[in-house]
Amino acid sequence: MSPKKLKILVETLGFGHLHLEVTVPRVVIFRDAILDIFAVELGERFNSLARDTWKNLLNYIGGAIIFVKSNYGERIKTLLDSWKVAANGSQSNGKEDGSSQEQSEGDVTNQMQKSKMQQKKKGKGISSMFKSGQTGEVGTEEGEAAVNAARKGGESTNASQVPTNYNEMFRFNSAVMGFGSHLWMNEVLDCFDNIVNSVDNPVRLQEECDVLVIRIARVTTKAVNFGEYKSCMLASLRSLLPKDWSTRHEVAWSWLWENVERIMQKNMGNPPKWEKSLGKI
């Protein structure tokens, strides 16, 4: 077995133990129990060389699980916490929306007041209008015109606002960066929430990536450059988390996408070969 493959397997095993409190004393107990079983079952065939080899391997696995929990646990927390904000939109955006709404309502009130003042400046006041049998339609029409104008202004203001959540921001950035015609990115975007929320469950993450590979195969037969999604993803997250974004976030999100890319690369191009089998499922 190559060291690179061993590292990947042990990391995967470590993610599966994130919910457990793995410590050095517990690793020693587990290691010695395995070695004792081998000694009982194999007898003299379990010589000192075999014992030392298995001891080193189990020490490596145990140490790697502890390392994953202590280092990647914080990384996973960073991912999940920042994703809650990015996926739903930041609180600051909500406050800005509320203030803009209040401002638009104030504009409506001001315009209606101006309309009434203009009406009074005309030759007839409100009382004289009623005395002469008029219904005040002029004032009503002007008031409605003011309301409609304010509403149109509010709609144009809302339409020109920058995106407030990840999906909107990603579509905006992908168009700006020239990736708007990449249909496979839309498939990734649809599955991305499930992928992020499965980061601490390697089995589930594998399943989500396998489904995504099949979905990408449905929209394109060309080679896919996953680095394009990564660059657009990071740009979108930086825009949504300007105050919180740090080197820690950059490392965590890059690490997530590198793992996703590694998992998907194994089966990219295979779905057409599986078409008959997939059609039966």
- Domains of the chain, by residue range, sit at 3-88, 91-159, 166-280
pLDDT tens profile 16-27: 787 788 899 999
The reported pLDDT for the residue numbered 127 is: 42
Distance CA 249, CA 242 (A): 11
236 with 173: CB under 8 angstroms? yes
139 with 119: CB under 8 angstroms? yes
Distance CA 239, CA 209 (A): 26
Could you tell me which of 263, 276, 273 has the C-alpha nearest to residue 207?
A: 263
Distance CA 206, CA 204 (A): 5
Q: Which amino acid is at 218?
A: R
The 10 Å CB-count burial string (b at 16+, else e) for 148-157 is eebeeebeee
Mean pLDDT of 69-84: 89
The 10 Å CB-count burial string (b at 16+, else e) for 235-258 is bbbebbbeeebeeebeebbebbbe
Q: Give, as one character, the DSSP assignment of residue 187.
A: H
Tell me the percentage of the chain whose pLDDT exceeds 70.
Answer: 74
The DSSP H or E segment spanning 218 is helix 202-219
**pLDDT winner (highest mean) among 134-138, 181-185, 275-279:** 181-185
Q: pTM for the full model?
A: 0.62
pLDDT tens profile 219-229: 988 889 999 99
* pLDDT band with cut points at 50, 70 and 90 for residue 201: confident
Mean pLDDT of 233-248: 94
The reported pLDDT for the residue numbered 262 is: 87
Distance CA 195, CA 189 (A): 10
**Residues making up the chain, counted from first to last:** 281
Q: How many other C-beta atoms are found inside a 10 Å radius of the C-beta of residue 191?
A: 17
Residue bearing the bigger pLDDT, 7 or 109: 7
